[in-house]
Amino acid sequence: MNRVSVLLTLVGVAGLAPAVEPAHQWTGFRGTGDSHTGAKLPVSWSDRHNIAWKTATPGFGQSTPVAARGRVYLTAVEGAKKEQLLVISLNAKTGKEIWRRSFASSRPQEAGDRVARAAPTPALDAHALYAQFDSGDLVALGHDGKVLWRKNFNSEYGAIQNGHDFGSSLRQSADTLYAFVNHVGPSYLIAIAKKGGATKWKVDLPSEGGWNTPLLAQTSGKDVLLVQRKGGVAAHDPETGAMLWEDLREFSRESAIPSLSVMGKTAVVPSNGKGGTWAFRLDAPKEILWRAKAATNAYSSPLLTEKRAYFVNAVGALFVVDLQTGRDLWTTRLPATTWASALYSHGRVYFFAGDGTTVVFRDANTLEKLAENRLEANSIVYAATPLENGLLLRTGSTLWKVAELGEADPSPELSRRTAPEAKVETPLPPAPEGKPGDVRVNAADDLKMLWVPSGQFRMGCSEGDAACEKDESPAHTVKLSGGFWLGATEVTVGAYKKFAAATGKALPSEPMLFQTKLNPGWGSGQLPMVRVSHADAQAYCRWAGGRLPTEAEWEYAARAGAAGAQYGAIEEVAWFGDNSGREPVDAARMAREQRGAYMQVLEKNGNRPQVVGGKKPNAWGFFDVLGNVAEWTADWHDLYGAEEIVAPKGPADGEKRVARGGAWTFPASSIRLSARLKLSADGSNDFTGFRCAQ
């Protein structure tokens, strides 16, 4: 039995790797790497039944808890700059804390929703817990919490540099830890001795940036360490680090988060881009077995079973394909996308939507949903850990244990999932009909709204506009058969604070451009609200008695009869890259000549969002429809058709949502009435806000 094939013998059980984690333990990211568990997981639960315990956890963490011998171990960070690193041990039966250890971070970084916060999952074996953090700190502790050794990647190998910070988890064999540090600085793959923490070997790699976790597998009787790079895979000797083979493609951010999966001799390389997910056999690594036609994979890693592969895209669409042929089997829509890795248990597959809903399916060639269970998580569910007769679900600061307690749901009709936004809606009377020129103040948020009359216009690339992108054409006639109200300005921070106070929703982390705060402490109430996802914007508009405008409604109101690319001189009507800082700059030239330092130049120049209503409005009185911040619309992105259309609402489904209008960071070529942005619905940023329609 070789070194890698010895499974962790926590209770004297050993087997050949890869192997299913036994029911009594979960020892690392995705268990041993395949997300399969021998535990028989519960099928039905809710806030009202089958909850063994629920506990608030210190700090904030995104890592998967690991567990064995009746104990649960998890990591977290505390502080505005993640200054404190936490390791916590809990009693698996009661959820009570047994011990907690705190360590100073060697590389404090500003915390926020777009930055890793204790993202790497620790590794656990019979002797110790090995806790790795996004700061680059690695600490080994005994099961009693005693520190055995510490290691600082930054001081030994150079500071980690990653836009969303470091998120890759450890992989382990019987005596070695493997770490993949793939960032925009010098990247590397290392092997670390479990006893003492010494570096056994280190392989330097080209810089890319990603969160992929390596995987141990066997092929032709040999152990291999698989690393996902450049949209492909490299195999290394786990004993020496020597390259065995590699099959690399083009690096893409779409392959930077989900990790490689293996089942038997079949490996799947995931991607969030169409056509980017592919499979190969370990015994023929440079031959593509199949390439997915429709399936894409966003944040969680793909789940492979004996005969099938499961993928979840950025908007929660679940794709199931045949593992050996790639043939599409079935697809369905989850309540939201998934961050936690799916699990396989005794013929069932579990998918953990970010909104707190777990959907259970039969592992089969046809769709058979067994249960849909909802917890009021009020936060993203980042991780799920199987336990014997139970299941742990983790948000940033809460841990649940659900279990088969023999309890029936006392209110089955309430268990049916409703959209999270439903609980924050305020019943308001319908907005009254208006006439051209009418102005009203929305009673919910005190923002002005203007009446937009029915009519028709040419939607898409403006005549004579040479800057149009492919998805802006062909221009086509759109008729809007009914009028509507639309916000005169973008939703402000002050208005969003009213929504947050009324609904209990927390404000997102304040906007930052590198180290520069763009609205410190959300102090300026007249700046446009940013860092909101599409769902956040929808929730606000529903609370305010409205909705997001369709893409056609937005462009119709933004044009206000204008046929050109802008409705006035751009300097007079819009805040954009050239004029949103202390001094005028030539953003177009910077984009050509200083592309890599573009945003750094803007930071140095003090560019930022501006108070709403500071530029000239269009002919119908709408401010900032061009520039300042881009604005979410209700529509999924798709290409236009040439035919005339009445009141279009966009496609019924998709992978990206459309935002319009350009922003304070953009050059003038993107500040145009027909310009379209494709953005992840779950994402948020410092340059996208919204306005509401009724």
Average pLDDT of the segment spanning 235-242:
96
CB 164 within 8 A of CB 113: no
- Tokens 């894409």 found at: 296
Does the pLDDT at position 53 exceed 50? yes
pLDDT per position as a tens digit, 286-302: 899 999 999 989 889 99
Query: What confidence score (pLDDT) does residue 597 get?
Result: 87
Segment 236-260 mean pLDDT: 85
pLDDT tens digits for 312-364? 998 789 999 999 999 999 999 998 889 999 999 999 999 999 889 999 999 99
Q: Does 179 or 18 have the greater pLDDT score? A: 179
pLDDT for 157-190, tens place per residue?
998 887 778 889 999 999 999 999 988 888 999 9
> What are the residues whose beta carbons fall under 8 Å from the beta carbon of 221, sequence distance 6 or more?
none
Number of CB atoms found within 10 A of residue 200's CB = 17
Q: What is the CA radius of gyration of the chain?
A: 26
Tell me the mean pLDDT in the region 606-619. 95
pLDDT in the model for residue 183: 84
**Separation of alpha carbons 270 and 279, rounded Å:** 9
666 touches 657 (CB < 8 A): no
Residue 671: other Cβ atoms inside 10 A: 27
- Tokens in use for 520? 């410190």
**Dihedral Cα 213, 214, 217, 222, nearest 10 deg:** 180
pLDDT in tens, 304-324: 999 999 999 987 899 999 999
pLDDT band of 19, cuts 50, 70, 90: low
Beta strand 97-104 with 84-91 is antiparallel
Confidence (pLDDT) at 257: 83
User: In the predicted model, what is the mean pLDDT of residues 426-442?
Assistant: 72
Cα–Cα distance for residue pair 347/327, rounded to 1 Å: 20
278 within 8 A of 292, measured Cβ to Cβ = yes
Residue 374 scores a pLDDT above 80? yes
Q: Give the Å distances, CA to CA, from 531 to 112, 120, 689.
A: 10, 24, 7
Residues 657-677 pLDDT 10s: 999 999 999 999 999 999 999
369-373, 410-414, 443-447, 569-573: least confident range: 410-414
Contact 461, 471 (CB under 8 A): no
**CB atoms inside a 10 Å sphere around CB 22:** 20
Q: Name the percent of the chain lying above pLDDT 70.
A: 93
pLDDT of residue 414: 42
Contact 27, 6 (CB under 8 A): no
- In this predicted structure, what is the pLDDT of residue 272? 84
Which residue ranges form the domains of the chain, and what is each CATH number?
A: 51-407 (2.130.10.10), 431-689 (3.90.1580.10)
What predicted TM-score, i.e. pTM, was given to this entire model? 0.66
Tokens of residue 256, six digits:
């930077």
545-to-428, 429, 487, 534, 612 alpha-carbon distances in Å? 6, 8, 12, 17, 21
Rounded Cα distance, 119 and 212, in Å: 12
